[in-house]
Amino acid sequence: MTSPLDQKIKITGPVVVTANRVGDGAVVYRRADGGWSTRLPEAAVTSNVATAREFIAAAVADDLRAVGPYIAPVKLTADGGVQPGNLRELIRLGGPTIDLPVTF
């Protein structure tokens, strides 16, 4: 697998860096302060390739807290909100689109 640092970054709009939390695998988003949050609105957003490269480099270096970081597209809403940019990211954020056999 190619390291995210070696991959060519193509950005056509706003993006965030996302990963899974090491301890429990939860979906997390990279914040501007270098921390991770399970809440997408707290993610650092950029539309700039150089900044995205900085984000992903910092995320990769943070191997103890997050696994498998990558750049994911988001959509910005008129009121300044952040939403997942595709179905995969929508499902990662919101969970399966089906009813689970048991809910907690």
- Asked if 6 interacts with other proteins (CB under 8 A), we say no
Of 48, 12, 46, residue with least CA distance to 32: 46
Site for other proteins (CB under 8 A): how many residues?
A: 26
Residues in 31-60 at the binding interface with other proteins, rule: CB under 8 A: none
Place of tokens 């993610």: 43
Angle, alpha carbons 18-89-17 (nearest 5°): 20
Q: Which is nearer to other proteins, 52 or 84 (by Cβ)?
A: 84
- Asked if 104 interacts with other proteins (CB under 8 A), we say yes
Strand boundaries in the chain, DSSP class E:
15-21, 27-30, 36-37, 66-76, 82-84
- Among 23, 33, 50, 79, the residue binding other proteins under the rule CB under 8 A is 23
Residues near other proteins (CB under 8 A) are 20, 22-27, 63-64, 67-68, 86-88, 91-92, 95-104
